[in-house]
Homo-oligomer: A and B are copies of this chain.
Amino acid sequence: MTRKGKDTNTESKILDAARQVFIEKGLAGARMQDIADRAEINKAMLHYYFKNKEMLFELIFRETAGKLFPHFEMLLDSDLGFFDKIRSIVSSYIETMVQNPYLPLFVMNEMNKNPEIGMKNFFEAQKPGFVKKFRASIEVSIQEGLIQPINPLHLIMNMFSMCAFPFIAKPMIKLLTGIEDEQFRNLMDQRKVLVAEFIINSIRK
Contacts and interface: CB of A to CB of B under 8 A. Distances in A.
Interface of A: 25-26, 28-29, 102, 105, 107-109, 111-113, 115, 118-119, 122-123, 126, 128, 131, 148, 150-151, 153-154, 157-158, 160-162, 164-166, 168-173, 175-177, 187, 190-191, 194-195, 198-199, 201-203
A108 B187 CA distance: 19
A112 B151 contact: no
Nearest to A170: B112
Contacts of A154: 187, 190-191, 194, 198
B128 A29 contact: no
Instruction: Decide if the interface of chain A is mainly helix, strand, loop or mixed.
Output: helix
Contacts of A26: 26, 28-29, 109, 113
Contacts of A201: 148, 201-203
18 contacts: A25-B113, A29-B113, A105-B108, A107-B172, A108-B171, A119-B171, A122-B175, A131-B177, A150-B194, A153-B177, A154-B191, A158-B162, A161-B161, A161-B162, A161-B169, A162-B162, A165-B165, A168-B168
